[in-house]
């Protein structure tokens, strides 16, 4: 029962991480315009993402435009796109395997517990790999933003700040990592012994010691 609860919790957390990761991948909020140098009047704010950039004006109008050419983008942006999409695809595969191998489902029947446990462990590893793969573009983008922000050679209009999508991306990666770990822990390999109940071994040891003392007393009387 405890392993079933761990599997369900792991699937739920990983599913939430996958949904958040998809939102982060599509959102144009990775980079936000930074206002430095004592600027008071802000006419427009530029938002940048993996697939498009948006321009928000003080009048409330927002204009978004997708990037014209993928090959014209910086190499890091292309790599970030690939890693983000690969992570989401791995999550999709892991969700299919996790649902099929869960103890509370009957996709593979009730007589294939060993195969279902193996599928759950594979799904957990895939979620962990997806979470690590998603961390690379998030952390790389954050590092580039902070580096350019404190670089005196970068002009003030070109400086950017961390967008809200990056924080959500960190949260999504953590959910994927934790969900994958719970799936792997909640699916022990075939033949593995279950964890003992707390306090049970000590009680058994006391009973064994007491039995041994009784046998020694009986031998002494004989």
- 192, pLDDT greater than 60: no
More confident residue, 92 or 72: 92
Average pLDDT estimate for 118-131: 92
Highest mean pLDDT among 48-62, 105-119, 183-197: 48-62
Cβ–Cβ under 8 Å, residues 20 and 84: no
Please report the domains of the chain, with CATH numbers, ordered by start residue: 1-27+73-188 (1.20.140.150)
* Burial annotation 23-58 (CB, 10 A radius, 16+ → b, else e): ebbebbbbbbbbeeeeeeeeeeeebbbbeebbebee
Residue 140 has pLDDT above 70, yes or no: yes
Q: Tokens 């140098």 map to which residue?
A: 37
Cα distances from 220 to residues 33, 207, 213, 216, in angstroms, run 89, 20, 11, 6
pLDDT classification of 107: cutoffs 50, 70, 90: low
Whether 213 shows a pLDDT value over 80: the answer reads no
Q: Label residue 197 by pLDDT band (50, 70, 90).
A: very low
Reference 183, options 95, 57, 110, 105; nearest CA is 95
Phi, psi of 198 (to 5 degrees): -60, 130
- Which residue, 133, 136, 117, is CA-closest to 184? 117
For the record, the structure tokens of 114 come out as 């060993």
For 8-35, the pLDDT digits (tens) are: 898 999 999 999 999 999 999 999 988 7
Distance (Å, rounded) from C-alpha 163 to C-alpha 160? 9
Q: CA-to-CA distance for 175 and 194, rounded, in angstroms?
A: 26
């Amino acid at each position: 029962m405890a392993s079933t609860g761990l599997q369900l919790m792991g699937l739920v957390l990983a599913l939430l991480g996958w949904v958040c990761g998809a939102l982060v991948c599509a959102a144009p909020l990775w980079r936000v315009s930074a206002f430095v140098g004592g600027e008071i009047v802000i006419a427009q704010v530029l938002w940048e993402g993996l697939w498009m950039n948006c321009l928000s004006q003080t009048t409330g109008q927002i204009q978004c435009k997708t990037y014209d050419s993928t090959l014209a983008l910086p190499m890091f942006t292309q790599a970030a796109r690939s890693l983000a999409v690969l992570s989401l695809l791995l999550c999709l595969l892991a969700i299919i395997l996790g649902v099929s191998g869960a103890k509370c489902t009957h996709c593979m029947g009730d007589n294939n517990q060993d195969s279902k446990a193996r599928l759950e462990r594979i799904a957990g590893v895939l979620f962990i790999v997806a979470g690590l793969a998603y961390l690379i573009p998030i952390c790389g983008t954050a590092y580039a933003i902070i580096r350019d922000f404190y670089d005196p050679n970068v002009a003030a209009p070109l400086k950017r700040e961390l967008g809200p999508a990056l924080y959500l991306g960190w949260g999504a990666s953590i959910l994927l990592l934790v969900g994958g770990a719970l799936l792997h822990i909640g699916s022990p390999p075939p033949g593995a012994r279950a964890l003992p109940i707390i306090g049970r071994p000590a009680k058994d040891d006391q009973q064994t010691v007491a039995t041994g003392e009784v046998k020694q007393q009986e031998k002494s009387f004989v």
